[in-house]
Structure 1
Amino acid sequence: MLNIPTQSFPAPSSQQRVGQSGRTKVALKPGHSLMDWIRYSKSGKDLTGLRGRLIEVTHEELQKHNTRNDCWTCIRGMVYNVTPYMDYHPGGEDELMKAAGIDGTDLFDQVHRWVNYESMLKECLVGRMATKHLQQGNKITTSTHLFVYAVPIMCCLYRYDWFQTATTVHLVIYTQRKIPNSGCTVVDLEAGVLRVEVLLGKMSYMVHLRLSENVDGDIAVNTAFAVGKIQLTIRKQAEGKWSSLGEPLEFHNTFLSKKDRALFFRDCVLVSKTEVNHNTRVFQLQLPRGTVMHVPVGKHVYLKSLIQGTEAVRPYTPVDQSLSVVPDTSSEKTGLYLMIKVYPDGLLTQHLNGLHIGDHVSVSGPEGTFSLRPLRDTTVLYLLAAGTGFTPMSRLIRVALHESFAIRKTQLLFFNRREEDILWRRELDELTAQDERFQVEHILSEPCESWTGRKGRVDDTIIKDFLSRPQGSKCYVCVCGPTLFTEQTIRYQQGFSEEEIHAFQG
């Protein structure tokens, strides 16, 4: 591939296509926020046009409702009249119209898989897709129009076994391949139900059991990374021999694409809130006793809370406790630190900011496409961030300075509106003074008169000045910020191939 991007760069299927696969937003009319939609949907108005009736929708009927003023779509077999939601949709009506009159499940999963659409659109529910009979030889089967759910694939490469002593139970999972990092295993043990998910690339292997006897809440996980073996140790409440490990539950012993599994949330406790600047806090969350989870660098989690009867869900990237303290990664059973900007009209951020120590919030497992693999032979790492787009960069800085022997230089270009908006500025400046391998440059779009640094917004000139390719070096570029910032930044990065750039979804 040539290093000069063409007009089609990034490729249409690329993760860099933020506008396609990210969360593109449009300016909504006043009075059309998420909270306004919640109020409107609960006003008692007939949002389906069916006066409260639920109907069975045929493929032919669904196709008829494909205009701006009469728009139905199907998501996982359920049909919704999304016409009333047009003006409230953050992605704009054009995005909704892509699914007008058709099955929008795939489109929805590409952009909004984490959104609880059942709660958001429950007052817009028209009914269920009709079923049709399919003739297969002499056998008649029934399927839903427009989509077919695949039977979970059993993979012979993945398997589990178990053994026991009088006081402990041991579950061993064999992946038959090298395990890249500790964050690939997520374990949840609650009320006797054990859920283990092993994440390797885009695939997911799951063990899901109701244990046959009572156990203590603590669980230990030991991983032999080189041989792909994961061992869980659980202590029995009462000594004795178990006749079986337990009863299989939904999706037990299945190997699926990660995107085909629903998000799984666990209940976490707010331990502390620390002020970073005038509108940003670090929220420290404690995982439940029976959860073992470590979020790998560059991955994010989703937070979920029930607000006025509607579930609000948003993605956030964990940070370390600080830039100066190298975290203990010897144990996966750690808490989460989330750096979150509190917006005046932010439904979930206002809710989070109002939580008290000891309150609860639901947290998903690790999500995201980022991989550390390209950094193994990278010698120069460029990081471009705007606002809270700094969050994934904070952990990448630590990796570059403390865990990578190849990276010789790490440079951060940090865009903000005003000086008081800069996150962890003191720590960044201290790190620059202490380690010659790290450099940071701040750019402000609305600086005060005393500001002596660079001013402006992201443009072609700034990117060209910042990005260079030293002779004999291997470079990698990471970008994160609002969608428009990310799209513009990537557009200006001439001289770098698609494989040398990762855009965190905004």
Structure 2
Amino acid sequence: MDWIRLTKSGKDLTGLKGRLIEVTEEELIKHNKKDDCWVCIRGLVYNVSPYMEYHPGGEDELMRAAGSDGTDLFDQVHRWVNYESMLKECLVGRMAVKPVAVAKENHEKKPLNGILLKSKLPDLPAKEISPSYDWFQTESLVTIVIYTKQKDVDSESVIVDYQDGCFRAEIVINDYSYLLHTELSHEIQEDITARVAEKTGKVEIILKKKDNVSWKYLGHPLENHNSFTAHREKGLYYRKCKLVSKVDVTHDTKLYCLMLPPDTHLQVPIGQHVYLKLTVAGAEIVKPYTPVLESLHSDLQEPLHPHNKYIYVIIKIYHTGLFTPHFDCLQIGDYVSVSSPEGNFKKSQLQDLEELFLLAAGTGFTPMVKILNYALTNTTSLRKVKLMFFNKTEEDILWKNQLEHLADKDRRFEVEFILSEPTCEWTGKQGRISLPLLSKFVKRSLENSRVLICICGPAPFTEQGIRLLKDLNFSQEEVHSFTA
């Protein structure tokens, strides 16, 4: 919170005494030192020198964009951060012309937090396969039809929101997004239906008219309406969700249930995360979380809450943290902003799989919940699923009883708990992620078995795990790490 206090102190953080200026390329390049560091993000220039000591990634990461356009670097690591709010007191002005790019073609590419930056985005799909839309109406309904021209579109690919008269529909197609964004010409009821014909890729969104009158036009186009662009170029879109329940999972972790607005259609795909946003002391704080299921018990007849209307998140409360103490103080009925899903895990990675290994530490277990459930339910070729779950103490283990129940019920599933700080009563394995542990646990049943290994936890755990799996001769395609 020290940075927030500094921004509210009235101190001149730009060095320009409140003036906003137009910044040329030549001027931007001059400000490339730690005590005089300007960075351009999406055409706006900020003096980030005062922020150096507060940056979680350290000064060196900020200096990579010093005196240049840091948009690509920012999007690779911090796309979810509301930099406009966080750095508003550092705003120098707007670029006069296109700024100098961070990376030159002849420079050696270096990984940023483990991600290799690309010099440019892949070309957009050919115009003839870009989606299109049409609409028609009856006396009481308006149907918007989107022709995606793709066969791998399902209900999880469709996100629909209606807020304050504005209709927004996003269709996620591989790494691209097709967006309809319009201010409707008439009011509609809250109940919106989305249907997908997976074989043809046709999406139908059905709106119920509030008044049974004929619409002369659908509405007034808003920003990026009828656009088809790379998904990573789009900013995050949020909607307000109501907190409807919170249940203790462990001594410091809870399961929260958030209800989507009635006029939102959103299903978080397997292995993807959302961002939760709260305003704390006048600043927006954003954190990523991977939604889970209500329960691992597949023998429940009906879920308490339908998965397409509710989002469940397991959150560990850090009492000295910026976000979680405030989130835990929310009362039932309070609202929190929830983003559209993000992430690069594809359900297709589980197709035709024979062996699935899950390596999780602490709340890094959350991405594994839906993966585990989907694989055991839908992957018919699957012979074995093994979860190696690392925690400090036994009381830290999330859903221990449910995991043991699942292992008893499904002979394909095996779970191993490893503790780093066990009590003397603990009879299971202990230690941290290591080559001896992994070499015994992650073994192919057959030489040519189709294998996927998913790993998630604190950054040191994940990085060490990836190195060890490489030492065990697993290919890059066989390992998926979750980072946000």
Work out which of the residue numbers 135, 140, 161 in structure 2 matches 1:162: 135
The match for 2:99 is 145
Q: Tell me, in whole angstroms, the C-alpha distance in 2 between the residues paired with 1:330 and 1:350.
A: 26
The match for 1:275 is 248
Q: Tell me, in whole angstroms, the C-alpha distance in 2 between the residues paired with 1:388 and 1:187.
A: 29
Q: Tell me, in whole angstroms, the C-alpha distance in 2 between the residues paired with 1:51 and 1:348.
A: 32
The match for 1:395 is 370
Q: Tell me if 1:95 matches 2:92.
A: no
Equivalences for residues 292-331 of structure 1 within 5 A: 292-325=265-298
C-alpha contact (below 8 Å) 1:80/1:124 kept by paired residues: yes
Q: Tell me if 1:197 matches 2:170.
A: yes
Q: Tell me, in whole angstroms, the C-alpha distance in 2 between the residues paired with 1:223 and 1:244.
A: 24
- Is there any run of 5+ residues in structure 2 with no aligned partner, and where? 102-119
C-alpha contact (below 8 Å) 1:182/1:332 kept by paired residues: no
Q: Tell me, in whole angstroms, the C-alpha distance in 1 between the residues paired with 2:368 and 2:304.
A: 18
Q: Tell me, in whole angstroms, the C-alpha distance in 2 between the residues paired with 1:67 and 1:112.
A: 22
The match for 1:498 is 476
Query: How much has 1:52 moved relative to structure 2?
Result: 2.0
Seen in structure 2, the aligned counterparts of structure 1 residues 429 and 331 have a Cα distance that, compared at 3 Å, is closer
Give the length in aligned residue pairs.
Answer: 459
C-alpha contact (below 8 Å) 2:244/2:332 kept by paired residues: yes
Q: Tell me, in whole angstroms, the C-alpha distance in 1 between the residues paired with 2:258 and 2:459.
A: 27
Q: Tell me if 1:260 matches 2:243.
A: no
Q: Tell me, in whole angstroms, the C-alpha distance in 2 between the residues paired with 1:410 and 1:442.
A: 14
Query: How much has 1:434 moved relative to structure 2?
Result: 1.3
The match for 1:67 is 33
Secondary structure of 2:351 counterpart: helix
C-alpha contact (below 8 Å) 2:386/2:414 kept by paired residues: yes
- Percent of aligned pairs with the same residue? 52
Seen in structure 2, the aligned counterparts of structure 1 residues 341 and 308 have a Cα distance that, compared at 3 Å, is same
The match for 1:455 is 430
Query: How much has 1:130 moved relative to structure 2?
Result: 2.0
Q: Tell me if 1:487 matches 2:453.
A: no
Q: Which amino acid aligns with 1:390?
A: F
Query: How much has 1:445 moved relative to structure 2?
Result: 0.8
Could you state the TM-score of these two structures normalised by the residue count of structure 1? 0.87
Query: How much has 1:155 moved relative to structure 2?
Result: 4.1
RMSD (CA atoms): 2.1
Q: Which amino acid aligns with 1:160?
A: Y
Query: How much has 1:69 moved relative to structure 2?
Result: 2.0
Q: Answer with 324-333 or 298-307: which moved more.
A: 324-333
The match for 2:181 is 208
Q: Tell me, in whole angstroms, the C-alpha distance in 2 between the residues paired with 1:194 and 1:229.
A: 19
The match for 1:351 is 326
The match for 2:357 is 382
C-alpha contact (below 8 Å) 1:73/1:81 kept by paired residues: yes
Q: Tell me, in whole angstroms, the C-alpha distance in 1 between the residues paired with 2:70 and 2:330.
A: 36
Q: Tell me if 1:113 matches 2:79.
A: yes
Q: Tell me, in whole angstroms, the C-alpha distance in 2 between the residues paired with 1:155 and 1:355.
A: 47
Query: How much has 1:226 moved relative to structure 2?
Result: 1.1
C-alpha contact (below 8 Å) 1:443/1:455 kept by paired residues: yes
Q: State the Cα deviation string for residues 208-248 of structure 1 (Å, max 9, x = none).
A: 11111121111011111111011111111122321111221
The match for 2:112 is none
Say which structure, 1 or 2, has more relative contact order (CA 8 Å, 6+ apart): 1
Query: How much has 1:192 moved relative to structure 2?
Result: 2.3
Query: How much has 1:176 moved relative to structure 2?
Result: 1.1
Q: State the Cα deviation string for residues 20-45 of structure 1 (Å, max 9, x = none).
A: xxxxxxxxxxxxxxx12111221122
Q: Which amino acid aligns with 1:99?
A: A
Query: How much has 1:191 moved relative to structure 2?
Result: 2.6
- Is there any run of 5+ residues in structure 1 with no aligned partner, and where? 1-34, 132-143
C-alpha contact (below 8 Å) 2:296/2:369 kept by paired residues: yes
C-alpha contact (below 8 Å) 1:183/1:332 kept by paired residues: no
C-alpha contact (below 8 Å) 1:379/1:474 kept by paired residues: yes
Secondary structure of 2:22 counterpart: strand
Q: Which amino acid aligns with 1:405?
A: T
Q: Which amino acid aligns with 1:462?
A: L
Could you state the TM-score of these two structures normalised by the residue count of structure 2? 0.91
Q: Tell me if 1:446 matches 2:424.
A: no
